Structure 1
Amino acid sequence: MLNGTTRDTGASPAVRVENVWKVYGSAEAQVTALRDVSLEVAGGEFTAIMGPSGSGKSTLMHCMAGLDTVTRGTIMVGRTTVTGLRDKGLTRLRRDHIGFIFQQFNLLPTLTAEENIWLPMTIAGRRPDPARLDRVIDAVGLRDRLKHRPHQLSGGQQQRVACARALLAGPEVIFADEPTGNLDSRAGADVLRFLRASVRDLGQTIVMVTHDPVAAAYADRVVFLADGSIITEIWEPSAEAVLDTMKILDRIGC
């Protein structure tokens, strides 16, 4: 079991998880979703989290992002300790330091693509840096579609709008939950290439939950969970290596 192993990349941790437990219910109804998990994600790193259904991968991501609380342990995003933050602090953390990309695109149908990209910053009363706005728009390749509404865009284009929205404020980390789950293989590959490029060109940190070995192969590292614990990890993964690891874990009952 490799719980908390890291590679020295020279970058400060964008996310640090220390001895985290997450327990739901009590007595006979008690379920342990995370068991003493420790993990570091370096700044500018693309990490994928994989595991069978019920392994704790989504719970881990939700706890890291401040969308769920931990039972025991500590989580930090940058220099901010997430565990113990009250509602106002969590709102500020999610607004200023975290970006989200979900399987559902979560775009407002009455707004244009450009307005959807701007929306979180508009709500926060802030204006984006013009240079970063240009870089993000060029990165997603939708400059000629900015005035279109979501129903006028393909699924892949809608997800790229969601990606641009997450990137615009320059968050400390972006959490992506099955970001290609509603896309066909071609559109999914476009989104994954964009995420890979945002790490390379913008220095973005990404943590992605996925069940797809092909999607995981775009990451720098794949972390495998089973029964709430980190079992192993792969650096510089290929889709074949990820699939082989999943088969081994399945064979040994993890």
Structure 2
Amino acid sequence: MTTDAAARTERARKIYGRGETAVTALDDVTVTFPSGQFTAIMGPSGSGKSTLMHCAAGLDPLTSGRTYLGETDLSTLSDTALTKLRRERVGFVFQSFNLLPTLTAAENITLPLALAGITPDQDWIDLVTATVGLGNRLGHRPSELSGGQQQRVAVARALATRPDVIFADEPTGNLDSAAGAELLGFLRHAVDEFRQTIVMVTHDPIAAEYADAVVRLADGRVVEERATSGLRS
């Protein structure tokens, strides 16, 4: 396993609001997400875990400090360049699936490539869809799929561009325990077999055990960093 940083923050600080109503969501957070590793971000509600993910992914700017994707300092990019970076080098999986209802599963999976004007590598797409078990459901629209199947589509979509890192925000939050375990197994497999880098926000300690490492936040600060057993698929 490589130890190169897929993403990292340096003295990251994020403040919402001003004056007496200001809320410090991140307070001097320095953390590294190594390439080829599955990292879980944990913490109670309001601890800053989703804010850290959003800032690390370039979805939300820091108040101060630095965020890097590889060696790229996100604060130096224009809005256009940042949008291009997120589209080409970052994958996202959200709790709410975020699939387009008028597109089939196959079309949803390749949508990021279409938006970027990139011709899909069909061998890679076939491998990804086979891995997440969607073979006979690719022609179905989201309304015709179960919640677990919709989230598999979302994971396949995130993998389609072979991103430097996938950020997953509570990806099992809308799934039952069986579908959640299957999804976590897919994410684990993506790390083990595809050397993918995954950063996952979760409140579930069982989900976190699928990761290689856990970063725990409280009151906007890192209070623990530890390795896990890394449940294998």
Deviation (angstroms), 1:163: 0.3
Q: Hey, what's the Cα distance between the residues in 2 that align with 1:202 and 1:88?
A: 29
Counterparts in 2 of 1:237 and 1:26: CA distance versus 1, 3 Å: farther
TM-score, structure 1 normalization: 0.88
Q: Secondary structure at the match of 1:167?
A: helix
Identity of aligned residues (%): 59
Q: Hey, what's the Cα distance between the residues in 1 that align with 2:2 and 2:136?
A: 39
- Which of 163, 167, 178 does residue 186 from structure 1 map onto? 178
Deviation (angstroms), 1:137: 1.0
Q: 1:127 maps to what in 2?
A: 119
- Which of 73, 78, 95 does residue 81 from structure 1 map onto? 73
Structure whose CA Rg is larger: 1
Deviation (angstroms), 1:234: 2.1
Please tell me the root mean square deviation across aligned C-alpha atoms, in Å. Answer: 1.3
Q: Hey, what's the Cα distance between the residues in 1 that align with 2:42 and 2:25?
A: 14
- Which of 54, 60, 69 does residue 62 from structure 1 map onto? 54
Q: 2:222 maps to what in 1?
A: 230
Q: Secondary structure at the match of 1:83?
A: helix
* Residue-by-residue CA offset, 1:193-225 (whole Å, 9 max, x unaligned): 000000001010000000011111100011100
Aligned 1:143-158 pairs, distance under 5 A? 143-158=135-150
Q: 1:116 maps to what in 2?
A: 108
TM-score, structure 2 normalization: 0.96
List, as ranges, runs of 4+ consecutive aligned residues in structure 1 with deviation greater than 4 Å. none
* Residue-by-residue CA offset, 1:113-164 (whole Å, 9 max, x unaligned): 1011011111111112222112101111111111111111110000000000
Q: Which runs of 5+ in 2 are unaligned?
A: none
Q: Secondary structure at the match of 1:101?
A: strand
Q: Hey, what's the Cα distance between the residues in 2 that align with 1:210 and 1:130?
A: 32
Moved more, 67-76 or 127-136: 127-136
Residue 206, structure 1, aligned to residue 201, structure 2:
no
Count of equivalent residues? 231
Q: Hey, what's the Cα distance between the residues in 1 that align with 2:223 and 2:200?
A: 17
Q: 1:177 maps to what in 2?
A: 169
- Which of 1, 12, 28 does residue 20 from structure 1 map onto? 12
Say whether the 8 Å CA contact 2:2–2:35 is kept in structure 1.
no
Q: Which runs of 5+ in 1 are unaligned?
A: 1-8, 240-254
